[in-house]
């Protein structure tokens, strides 16, 4: 049995080792295998279609070097194209730190995506390099979220700004900013509210919060398990907020990471981190080549 895509592609190309160029006929089957692998990894079908077209164009007529077999050439083209779409060879995209602290980071995404947990992880990430962080509880509709952020803050010894007397998140964010300045914080991370589905009120509130504090980073937090839906949600959030980056959570589950490709493709925004578990240390910078290998299986 051929399990990995690489094995399947090697099988497809078997028997045509003497080819000197990759031709339309001999890549049909190979492209089909790539399409199946991407769909199995839950990449959005439209994104798959565009990706396959790009690979077809790049592969056609590609000369097969004496030292390589056609399958090796094709596998390299697919892998390189995937790495390229996911963000290129560079190490993880960096968080844009403001030269005039505090750097303001706003987290946005659907409820349950992992915003609160990820806010704590991100704070811990910066605190490890000696930065001071203020966590801001602006998820006012889910009282448990405020408690949850306070607990996370205690665990990592980060200051947490809360104001249970109001549901005015713009006020909370603005007051928190004044507090962050007063206490000379390097960063302030705003945990915003999410809904189970995109809705206008929530979006308007996020836009008003953004306008009030002018964040240096707006990070869209997406659940890697969301599959085909990831595209619509990411597009809506990005259209409204003009996000600066993406964090993909729950990559410890069965998800092969297709959502990474879908979201990157529709938003054009860099993936910056992945979350790989519920614990605070389950958090890593994003590397396109690692994700490409995971998606291809």
Which residues are annotated as part of the binding site for GTP?
Answer: 109-116, 191-195, 249-252
- Asked whether position 257 contacts ligand GDP by CB under 6 A, the answer is no
Q: Can you tell me which of 29, 252, 284, 289 binds ligand GDP, judged by CB under 6 A? A: 252
- To the nearest whole angstrom, how small is the minimum distance from the Cβ of residue 150 to ligand GDP? 13
Query: Between residue 173 and residue 212, which ones bind ligand GDP under the rule CB under 6 A?
Result: 194
Is residue 5 a contact residue for ligand GDP (CB under 6 A)? Answer: no
Residue 153 touching ligand GDP (CB under 6 A): no
Q: Is 113 in the site for ligand GDP (CB under 6 A)?
A: yes
Q: Please list every residue from 91 through 110 that binds ligand GDP, using CB under 6 A.
A: 109
Min CB(282)–ligand GDP separation in Å: 6
Cis (ω within 30 of 0) for the bond into 17? no
Exactly one of 185, 250, 264, 272 binds ligand GDP (CB under 6 A); that residue is: 250
Report the nearest approach of ligand GDP to the CB of residue 248 (Å): 9
Q: Which is nearer to ligand GDP, 231 or 247 (CB)?
A: 247
Q: Are 6 and 72 in contact (CB under 8 A)?
A: no
Q: How many residues bind ligand GDP (CB under 6 A)?
A: 19
277 scored as a contact of ligand GDP (CB under 6 A): yes
Q: Which stretch binds ligand GDP (CB under 6 A): 3-11, 34-42, 177-185, 245-253?
A: 245-253
Where does residue 114 fall: left (phi above 0), alpha (psi -120 to 50 degrees), or beta otherwise? Answer: left
Residue 283 dihedral angles phi and psi, to the nearest 5°? -155, 130
Q: Interface residues with ligand GDP (CB under 6 A)? A: 109, 111-117, 145, 194, 249-250, 252-253, 275-278, 282
């Amino acid at each position: 049995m051929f399990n990995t895509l690489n094995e399947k592609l090697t099988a497809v190309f078997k028997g045509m080792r003497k080819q000197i160029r990759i031709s339309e006929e001999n890549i049909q089957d190979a492209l089909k295998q790539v399409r199946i692998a991407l769909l199995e990894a839950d990449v959005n079908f439209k994104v798959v279609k565009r990706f396959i077209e790009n690979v077809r164009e790049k592969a056609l007529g590609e000369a097969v070097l004496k030292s390589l077999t056609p399958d090796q050439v094709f596998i390299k083209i697919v892998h390189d194209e995937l790495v390229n779409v996911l963000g290129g060879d560079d190490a993880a995209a960096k968080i844009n730190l403001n030269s005039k602290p505090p750097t303001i980071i706003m987290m946005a995404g659907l409820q349950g995506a992992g915003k609160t947990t990820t806010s704590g992880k991100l704070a811990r990430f910066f605190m490890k390099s000696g930065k001071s962080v203020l966590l801001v509880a602006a998820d006012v509709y889910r009282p448990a979220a405020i408690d949850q952020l306070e607990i996370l803050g205690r665990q990592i010894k980060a200051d947490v700004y809360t104001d249970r007397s109001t549901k005015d998140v713009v006020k909370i964010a603005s007051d928190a900013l004044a507090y962050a300045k007063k206490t000379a914080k390097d960063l302030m991370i705003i945990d915003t509210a999410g809904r189970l589905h995109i809705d206008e009120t929530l979006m308007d509130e996020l836009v008003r919060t953004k306008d009030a504090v002018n964040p240096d980073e707006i990070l869209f937090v997406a659940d890697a398990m969301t599959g085909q839906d990831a595209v619509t949600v990411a597009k809506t959030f990005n259209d409204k907020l003009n996000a600066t980056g993406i964090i993909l959570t729950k990559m410890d589950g069965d998800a092969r990471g297709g959502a990474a490709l879908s979201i990157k493709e529709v938003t054009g925004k860099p993936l910056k981190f992945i979350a790989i578990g519920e614990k605070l240390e389950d958090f890593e910078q994003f590397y396109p080549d690692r994700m490409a290998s995971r998606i291809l299986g």
